[in-house]
Structure 1
Amino acid sequence: MKLTTLDKEQDNNYNSHDQQIKAVDFFCGGGGMSYGMQMAGVKVIAGIDFEQSCKETFEANITGAKFLQEDVFDLTVEKLETELNLQRDDNNLILIGCSPCQYWSIINTDKEKSKKSKNLLKEFRKFVEYFNPGYVVVENVPGVLRNKRKSGLSGFITWLKKNSFSVHFDNHDISEYGVPQSRRRFTLLANRITKEKIAPVKALGKKLLVKDVIGEANGFPKIPAGHKDKTGFMHTVAGLKEINIQRLEQTAKNGGSRISYADNELLAPKCHKNDKVNFKDTYGRISWDKLSPTITTKFFSISNGRFAHPEENRAISLREGAILQSFPKSYVFKTTTIGNTARIIGNAVPPRYAQAIAEAIIQNHQNGTV
């Protein structure tokens, strides 16, 4: 099953499940989690995020949902209850908390800047305790599990179990769920409808690889560095300095790395001269026959990882990055800059993975409410 058929599959899936299941998506960003839930048949009633820049993208893709620009540190349960007309102890409600994860990430980030985010799980917990929904979903970086006491995860799991939730939590390889990308994510699925510990539903068949979703055969025409696509397809790519184009010209097609010019006094970056061991992904090309590397918020820049196109002398485009995150070609990004678009894409829960989570919930709900 190819990712390029995603739009058609959405139409088939959207009304195929019981629409009584509804969700509120905390830290919703541009709607990756919400979109996957929607694809499976869950009715997303609201997305909550502090970033106003996500609003238009979220609303353009999530049917009938409200976008609430709120900081969860300030948002009260009473305000949310009134705003969305939520009921407590609602078996048909999913509360989703995919909080920003920079503090617990292994990627080199400024921990001081992201320090506030380390307590977001604890803030999300207050809404779960108050509303006591039928289902709880938490998705984050694997580091949350490695630091489960400090992150508040340990205490949250204990509370869930004491309050009659069956809890599944683990780090998952998202390539097993229809996402053509090498990426591991922590996922917690808690349910008080049945005694089952439910887990995301794995995709059938072979894993999708880069060649299955991008390239000319999949509707991506060849373009040069700096190409601006003014259509909604957004096959837009960042520009490159001449020296970076020369570097890519020397980089082997289909997975080559900067090692090919490490000894070149003119081409090798100063910090990488004669170094054939460290940071080999930087300036590297993606491979057709492998999974994509993890799509970060900087995937538009070849100096920030293995983000060069497998053959063309450029970074991957915005739409190629979105497709590797399992967004469909029809997904609308209401943004004004390459950086803002890439940030929404890189921060998102891959919709295919979110759909796998939703399908597990729907199956469990059908079994528990017969």
Structure 2
Amino acid sequence: MKMARFAEIVEPEHVIIENVLGVRHDKNGVFDTTVEALLKLGYSVDTPLVKGEMIGVPQRRHRAFIVASKTKPLHQGYFDSALKAQYVRERSVRWACEDLLDLEQHSPMDVESKLSGVSKERVDWMFENGAYDLPDRFRPSCHRDKDHTYKSVYGRLYWDKPAWTITTGFLVMGQGRFLHPLRRRVITPHEAARLQFFPDFFDFGVQKRGGYAKMIGNAVPAKMAYAVALELLR
């Protein structure tokens, strides 16, 4: 609703809102309420689902968009053909990061996270057994014995497939599938930025490692925003 309020005050010609897929089923109905508010403000609206790997992002990042316009006659399904027109073959972790495999750690963006002793043991087991997901018996009790909503943890990326969704937790193997496919470590901020479609010339400024993780993990990959904005600018 904050974005709808922003649109009411600023009156932009176009509005693009991005969020996780679960927002469509938010118990407070924030998604539908925002659409209704934009319609009442005189915008036409479409709510496309954008899949990053379908348009060249080397990551399976699926996001719900609300796109509103005062000048484009949007409707449900308006962006379907535009997104199909931008389809490319899936790009892999290799495509994005191969040249960063053994990059010297001169920049904080390229410094590897230090693994604890028990984490090293888990990583070694996965590599020695050709595993891409750590069995429950090797996980800590919080991910083994208790109910939790996020099960995609202690995972390893595939070298020749798109990455799983990059989040702010990519510096920690217990917060997602962020183990490097070929090296016994989690991905670096530089590799995460590549998977988020940031060009190398993008300047993140001087940050603590957690700052890089927050900026990169919370970002909308530029290619996803481009795919939607391009159609509005035609």
TM bucket by the smaller chain? 0.7 to 0.9
Cα RMSD after superposing both structures: 2.8
Q: Is the 8 A contact 2:58 2:162 kept in 1?
A: yes
1:220 aligned onto 2:100: yes
Q: Give the distance between the partners of 1:272 and 1:251, measured in 2 at CA.
A: 20
Partner of 1:282: 153
Which structure shows the bigger proportion of residues in helix conformation?
Answer: 2
Partner of 1:297: 168
* Long gaps (5+) in structure 2: none
Shift of 1:282: 2.7
Q: Is the 8 A contact 1:281 1:305 kept in 2?
A: yes
1:242 pairs, out of 117, 127, 152, with 117
1:273–1:205: structure 2 CA closer, same or farther, 3 Å change rule? closer
Partner of 1:336: 207
1:123 aligned onto 2:6: no
Please list, as runs of the form range in 1=range in 2, the aligned pairs for 1:316-327 lying within 5 A after superposition: 316-327=187-198
1:160 aligned onto 2:38: yes
1:193 aligned onto 2:71: yes
Q: Give the distance between the partners of 2:207 and 2:198, measured in 1 at CA.
A: 19
TM-score, length of structure 1 as denominator length: 0.55
1:196–1:331: structure 2 CA closer, same or farther, 3 Å change rule? same
Shift of 1:326: 1.0
Shift of 1:274: 9.0
1:341–1:273: structure 2 CA closer, same or farther, 3 Å change rule? closer
Q: Is the 8 A contact 1:236 1:317 kept in 2?
A: yes
TM-score, length of structure 2 as denominator length: 0.83
Equivalenced residue count is: 225
1:143 pairs, out of 22, 37, 43, with 22
1:231 aligned onto 2:107: yes
Partner of 1:179: 57
1:163–1:256: structure 2 CA closer, same or farther, 3 Å change rule? closer
Q: Give the distance between the partners of 2:35 and 2:217, measured in 1 at CA.
A: 28
Partner of 1:314: 185
1:166–1:250: structure 2 CA closer, same or farther, 3 Å change rule? same
Q: Give the distance between the partners of 1:141 and 1:269, measured in 2 at CA.
A: 27
Q: Give the distance between the partners of 1:273 and 1:336, measured in 2 at CA.
A: 30
Larger Rg: 1
Q: Give the distance between the partners of 1:145 and 1:317, measured in 2 at CA.
A: 32
Q: Is the 8 A contact 1:257 1:283 kept in 2?
A: yes
Q: Give the distance between the partners of 1:324 and 1:250, measured in 2 at CA.
A: 26
Q: Give the distance between the partners of 2:189 and 2:131, measured in 1 at CA.
A: 20
Partner of 1:170: 48
